[in-house]
Chain A
């Protein structure tokens, strides 16, 4: 399990960040105001660690404290270093720091990339270890529940698109104005101090749903069963209840031929590889059948037909990995933005696929699929990288800390722009 977990993270966190690192320096990834506030509140002379610092976007805040950053991603760390910050490469599960040496620790959008509960706990414990008693940690993770949508599952793969179309209305600029002064001043900090910030944002498509070109933009959410769920039976029952809904996306293996006329190109080949990979993590002899039937995608026109035929078949199956398409009307949680009050139509457009057939005939169909879909895929989609996230339910992070990290005491929790923000304090634990 440990190896599978670490492999998943290598493939769908670390290597993705390495590829997308060059795009992180643009305006889309602003500093969260609450994090800035947390840093500004630290006593002068404090030593603060940013664990998972990325390109160091928080490290310029508050000149009276000393900040150390670390991350696994070399290009991001190099970028932070080039801004003059003190950084190193390391693993969040094995921090190269002494016990109790930090006055404060940041973990901003980091532990949601850890693929098992056990690893998330270990990461929290490591950070707690390096905190001095009385020191505080601020943790941000993506929330499962958001204002206008809810992720179907907690374990998802999110594509990252490096080449969004530029909106003619320059939503970037408008966004900043909408945000008010806070974000504007953040940007000026950046541009004044360090670099020329261009307003081209690669998240334009997600933040400006009004633009017609972008409404077509496909945002795919891949849902996976948690690596923990091999042992966690409660997640199976959750999946079952939602399987009826999700079964609309599943097509019985033999029926894929008729649905090859899906209108939109999608990274099926990539998706298929992912599916195989993810499935291989979860396979146990009992669950193999259900996993293999799951992932499918079908043509929207045939949806009605399939629901009928699928319900009986897949009623009891859990979905391992599903491709769901979001029409990108709602920004991702990693963006500081004013989220527009627009109706969230999470369009569940289905994409064609046939997968993991157990018999030779189905196998033969797959390569045909592959070729057809490769041709149809847009270049952008081919380039999209998939990042693994475990999104947190309300109270989950707090509960994780309360139950498993006794050296941390949760001070407060809030939902901040689709992220759960938790601040906790290191306490002395006495053992009798």
Chain B
């Protein structure tokens, strides 16, 4: 789910995630890995995406310090980042309103020829 949480979007801006079908996989929890990933994320985008898929899990709006040792917190991040998956849904570009479909777990970010 990481790519929906701020990495991708309509050509580099944050996309709003709408999900009609979500799946939660079981992925081995590695706290160090999650800790290392967090600084690379756009936290607000992650929260927005998490809400979009119904897995906000009371994560805070802003990142608190010393999260590296808060295993409970890390577990929640792990869940949203690595376990929750949008199977069917869409990503919406806030600027253009254009929706990119997510189908069978794969977002389709291909633009048509006439869109640039």
Contact = CB atoms under 8 A, between A and B. Distances in A.
A66 interface: yes
A208 B111 CA distance: 42
B18 to A, nearest CB: 16
Interface string A200-237: 00000000000000000000000000000000000000
A44 B35 CA distance: 10
A96 B106 contact: no
B21 to A, nearest CB: 14
Contacts, number: 81
Nearest to B13: A98
Interface string A27-64: 00000000000000001111100000000000000001
A68 B109 CA distance: 14
Interface string A98-113: 1101010000000000
Interface stretch (A87-95, A149-157, A300-308): A87-95
Given A6-B113, A66-B2, A89-B106, A45 B8 contact: no
Given A78-B104, A89-B106, A97-B8, A47 B113 contact: no
B89 interface: no
Contact of A98 (B1, B7, B104, B116): B7
A246 to B, nearest CB: 35
A232 to B, nearest CB: 25
A43 B36 CA distance: 10
B12 interface: yes
Contacts of B11: 94, 96
Contacts of B113: 6
A77 interface: yes
B104 A94 contact: no
Q: On chain B, which size bracket covers the interface?
A: 20 to 34
B7 A77 contact: no
A81 interface: yes
B104 A81 contact: yes
A86 interface: yes
A86 B11 CA distance: 18
Given A81-B105, A88-B107, A98 B6 contact: yes
A72 interface: yes
Given A87-B106, A90-B110, A44 B33 contact: yes
A96 B9 contact: yes
B3 A88 contact: yes
Contacts of B36: 43-46
Interface in B84-111: 100, 104-111
Contacts of A84: 25
- Of the listed residues B3, B33, B100, B111, the one surrounded by the most CB atoms of chain A closer than 10 A to its CB is B3
A88 B108 contact: yes
A66 to B, nearest CB: 6
A64 B32 CA distance: 9
A88 B8 contact: yes
B110 A86 contact: no
A47 B40 contact: yes
Interface of A: 6, 43-47, 64, 66, 68, 70, 72, 74, 77-78, 81, 84, 86-91, 94, 96-99, 101, 103
25 contacts: A44-B32, A44-B33, A45-B33, A45-B37, A47-B37, A64-B30, A66-B2, A68-B7, A86-B1, A86-B3, A88-B3, A88-B107, A88-B109, A89-B106, A89-B107, A89-B108, A91-B111, A96-B11, A96-B107, A97-B3, A98-B6, A98-B7, A98-B42, A101-B40, A103-B40
